[in-house]
Amino acid sequence: MAGARGEKVTMQEHMAINVSPGPIRPIRQISDYFPHFYPFAPALLRPRPAPLPALPNGPAPETALSSPVEEAQTPTAKAGVSQLPQCLEEQDGDSDETTALGSLEFTLLLDQQNCVLHCTIHRAKGLKPLDSGSIDTFVKANLLPGTSKASQLRTRTVRGSRGPRWDETLTYHGFTCQDAGRKTLRLCVCEESRLRRRAEPLGELRVPLKKLVPNLTRSFNICLEKRRLTKRPSSLDTARGMSLYEEEVVEAAGEERGRILLSLCYSSQRGGLLVGVLRCAHLAPMDANGYSDPFVRIFLRPNTGKKSKYKTTVRKKTLNPEFNEEFFYAGQREELAQKTLLVSVWDYDLGTADDFIGGLQLSINATGEKLRHWSECLARSDRRLELWHPLDGAPPQLGD
């Protein structure tokens, strides 16, 4: 790119620019940037709004690790971009690798009542493109541990900026406080390239979500780090042909199949049970493309001659499908309460048998939340209750 970002500035010019203003400590600046060959780092060339002497610390060994990125952010934080500017920059002593890749501003809100995690990506600063030229970027979010695509969300692409602003909210449905206790959010800034087929990661960061307080918006401004890849455990090789190092990684035991949001209501007006299949989240990938084509089957057992089996439509190539379909079982409330509702999620495959992803059973013999859901909705009429349930791996016995 030409113009404002500077052409091929030579290293000598870079040194001259940084040395000349006087109070700037030239050795620190050069030692920060020399190994990276980013002589045109925009934060360095831009006129500094806050002069360096404002920094409280002298050039102690730790500050040698800090970067222009951090300094450039100071005025923003003071300007009150967020009420709680929690900068979790964890400088692991990984030298300037940790700060030279730019930074990302975002806010997180865990809506406890609706089981939703909102992740609003505001903007990045000081990104370093892989090649010289225009830089088109987007942010990809994942929840770890978990298979990468099960929780993958992304922003739109913002073109031609090293300080892109997205202001876009990514929403995780079916996200509980229990999830927050054991999940980490990974945000990765990726560069979209017309030359390369895949988007390339420019840097990533990870936030342990146990730090979140439910229903309280928290703002972050975190430096990006180099991408970390982890080996895929063989136990998760459900998708045929998926590469070993695809991306991520281990799933918490018993949660690798995903979960489903169901609603139940006994309608006194219609004289039967309404079963709503609303959505699924973080489903296991069954296809080689890393996704599934999910649909849901429900079956009320034992079958008494009335229609007992239903299925939703197929949602193509997604691990977080939204169905919002409702099904009806006629019958007396007391009689229905003695039955078992089998719910199973499948991956549709053209030409071959569908793959089972996961399932669950609701009945008076169930336990925990499954029992509560069933018994509360069938103990009274016209009480609608929506609950998330984890899917387990036992294939349903469809014969009755």
Instruction: Using only the alpha carbons of the chain, give its radius of gyration.
Output: 26
* 349 touches Ca ion (CB under 5 A): yes
> Considering the rule CB under 5 A, would residue 70 count as an interface residue with Ca ion?
no
Closest to 280 measured CA to CA, from 267, 298, 265, 266: 298
Sort residue 51 into left (φ over 0), alpha (ψ -120 to 50) or beta: beta
Smallest distance, Ca ion to C-beta of residue 278, A: 21
Give residue number: closest CB to Ca ion. 293
Q: Say if residues 333 and 381 touch (Cβ distance below 8 Å).
A: yes
- Find the shortest distance in angstroms from Cβ 234 to Ca ion: 21
Q: Is 354 in the site for Ca ion (CB under 5 A)?
A: no
Smallest distance, Å, CB 382 to Ca ion? 38
**Residue range at the interface with Ca ion (CB under 5 A); choices 67-75, 142-150, 325-333, 346-354:** 346-354
Q: Are 387 and 373 in contact (CB under 8 A)?
A: yes
| Phi, psi torsion values for 147, nearest 5 degrees | -70, 145
390: which residues sit within 8 A by CB, 6+ positions away? 254, 255, 257, 258, 259, 360
Q: Which is nearer to Ca ion, 2 or 350 (CB)?
A: 350
CA-CA distance, 306 to 21, in Å (whole number)?
84
Question: Shortest distance, CB of residue 356 to Ca ion, whole angstroms?
Answer: 12
Among 248, 347, 374, 378, binds Ca ion (CB under 5 A): 347
- Alpha carbon separation from 155 to 129, 178, 197, 228, 250 (Å, rounded): 18, 26, 18, 21, 25
Of 186-194, 209-217, 235-243, 292-300, the segment contacting Ca ion by CB under 5 A is 292-300
Q: How far is the CB of 350 from Ca ion (least distance, A)?
A: 7
- Using CA atoms, how far apart are residues 190 and 142, in angstroms rounded to an integer? 13
Using CB under 5 A, which of 287, 315, 357, 362 touches Ca ion?
287
Does the footprint of Ca ion cover residue 293 (CB under 5 A)?
Answer: yes
Separation of alpha carbons 280 and 261, rounded Å? 6
Nearer to Ca ion (CB atom), residue 273 or residue 284: 284
- Interactions with Ca ion, residue window 209-228 (CB under 5 A): none
Q: How many residues bind Ca ion (CB under 5 A)?
A: 4
Q: Does 248 bind Ca ion (CB under 5 A)?
A: no
Tell me which DSSP letter residue 48 carries.
P
The stretch among 103-111, 172-180, 250-258, 344-352 that binds Ca ion (CB under 5 A) is: 344-352
Q: Which residues bind Ca ion (CB under 5 A)?
A: 287, 293, 347, 349
